[in-house]
């Protein structure tokens, strides 16, 4: 399926459809369900009355753009640009207008670069890129500053009386894998605006090496499915290595006809993780498995286009009994990737970022 991105400001492009699973009207309803939960100031919380964080907010903005909710997407990006702090970060947790946790997570801060590059792919609006570029630069400068000696990125920097404090000297594999994608998006944006950032390229090379070769140096979160598939989704692991990785723990996480577990020990499948795995599988060349899982998770859909967070199958109940914007956003982005509808459908494949940076081993790592 082909599509035109239209001219900047018109919002004209086809909305994705996945044959036999979702129609374009279905995807539009899901994008509208996200917009219906957007705050008047542009913020997009996880669900009604819940928190907003910059990563999930940006993912929702991307889905709004894909689903035809252009004005809502721009309001979401305006919120990001307006609320970024002087050091380039956003608070971990904002509820309404109140900052509940003012610490700064690196992967959440970095993801604005992916959103801005995605907007460029879909809209080709150079004015938007130029307006957002200072925010991207500040965000990624902060992230690179927190890279650890082995190449992973410290996952959070605490705040003391509102001022930046110490970064915790630990890295998360999922967060660092997402940050690798963000750095590649930032490097692509730097090339577009003519503001080269060689430090980002070096940091991305070190980070790619750490994710691919030194998983043991990250905090052990192997019980979570995200640590399984995120090195593939973020792009650090590709080809045969990606397929081998995804096959290795398939039976630990995949529940036939339902989706995937969030945690390998719990009988709970979640829609967002399932759709992220769909995109990772498709990027790894496992299209058949991706399509099947995308169809399997549709039992979480409501008639209005919302999605429940997850399903506990022994009890046959939705849990929590809530509709989450991040689940809906993952569905919309997965539909776009599987259908190849908008010019932003490549965002998880990453071919528009340009070549991967060369891997750079940390001094003394022995590789």
Domain CATH for 42: 1.50.10.10
Q: Which of 103, 327, 88 is nearest to 186 (CA)?
A: 88
Which range of residues forms the domain containing residue 246?
24-352
Q: What is the pTM of this model?
A: 0.96
Give the tokens for residue 345: 């459908």
60 and 39 Cβ atoms separated by less than 8 Å: no
Helix or strand (DSSP H, E) at 65: helix 54-66
Q: Tell me the per-residue pLDDT of 49-82, one tens digit each, with 9 for 90 and over.
A: 999 999 999 999 999 999 999 999 999 999 999 9
176 and 211 Cβ atoms separated by less than 8 Å: yes
In a domain, 151, yes or no: yes
Domain-embedded: residue 16: no
Specify if 239 maps to a domain: yes
E strand or H helix that includes residue 104: strand 104-105
Q: Which residues pair with 261 in a beta bridge?
A: 269
Residue 302 lies in a domain: yes
Which runs of consecutive H residues, i.e. helices, occur in 214-322? 225-233, 239-248, 250-253, 271-283, 287-296
When divided into structural domains, the chain yields a total of: 1
Question: By C-alpha distance, which of 130, 116, 9 is closest to 61?
Answer: 116
Q: Is residue 8 part of a domain?
A: no
pLDDT at 334: 99
Q: To which H or E segment does residue 80 belong?
A: helix 70-83
pLDDT for residue 12: 60
Provide the sign of the torsion angle of the four alpha carbons 67, 71, 77, 80, taken in this order. negative
Q: Is 363 part of any domain?
A: no
Q: Is residue 3 part of a domain?
A: no
Number of neighbours of residue 46 by Cβ within 10 angstroms: 20
Residue 59 lies in a domain: yes
The per-residue pLDDT for 11 is 46
Low-confidence ranges of the chain (pLDDT < 70): 1-12
> How far apart (Å, rounded) are the C-alpha atoms in residues 72 and 269?
29
For residue range 159-196, what is the model confidence (pLDDT) as tens digits?
987 788 889 999 999 999 999 999 999 999 999 999 99
């Amino acid at each position: 399926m082909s599509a035109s991105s239209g001219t900047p400001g018109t919002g004209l492009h086809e909305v994705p459809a996945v044959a036999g699973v979702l129609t374009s009207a279905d995807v539009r309803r899901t994008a509208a369900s996200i917009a219906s939960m957007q705050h008047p100031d542009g913020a997009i919380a996880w669900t009604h009355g819940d928190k907003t964080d910059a990563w999930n907010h940006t993912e929702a903005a991307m889905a709004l753009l894909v689903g035809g909710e252009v004005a809502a997407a721009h309001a979401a990006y305006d919120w990001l640009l307006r609320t970024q702090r002087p050091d380039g970060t956003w608070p971990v947790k904002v509820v309404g207008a109140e900052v509940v946790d003012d610490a700064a997570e690196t992967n959440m801060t970095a993801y604005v670069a992916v959103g801005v590059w995605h907007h460029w792919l879909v809209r080709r609006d150079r004015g938007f890129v130029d307006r957002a570029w200072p925010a991207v630069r500040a965000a990624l400068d902060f992230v690179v500053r927190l890279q650890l000696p082995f190449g992973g990125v410290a996952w959070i920097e605490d705040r003391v009386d509102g001022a930046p404090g110490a970064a915790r000297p630990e890295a998360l594999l999922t967060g660092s894998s997402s940050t690798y994608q963000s750095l590649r998006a930032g490097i692509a944006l730097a090339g577009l605006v003519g503001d080269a950032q060689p430090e980002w390229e070096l940091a991305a090379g070190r980070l790619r090496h750490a994710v691919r070769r030194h998983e043991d140096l990250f905090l052990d979160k192997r019980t979570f499915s995200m640590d399984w598939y995120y090195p593939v989704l973020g792009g650090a692991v590709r080809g045969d290595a990606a397929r081998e990785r995804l096959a290795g723990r398939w039976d630990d996480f995949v529940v036939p006809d339902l989706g995937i577990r969030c945690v390998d020990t719990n009988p709970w499948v979640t829609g967002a993780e399932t759709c992220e795995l769909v995109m990772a599988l498709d990027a790894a060349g496992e299209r058949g498995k991706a399509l099947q899982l995308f169809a399997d998770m549709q039992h979480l859909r409501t008639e209005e286009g919302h999605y429940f967070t997850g399903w506990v199958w022994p009890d046959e109940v939705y849990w929590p009994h809530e509709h989450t914007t991040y689940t809906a956003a993952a569905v919309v982005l997965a539909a776009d990737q599987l259908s190849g509808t908008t010019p932003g459908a490549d965002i998880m494949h990453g071919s528009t970022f340009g070549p991967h940076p060369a891997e750079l081993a940390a001094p003394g790592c022995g590789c």
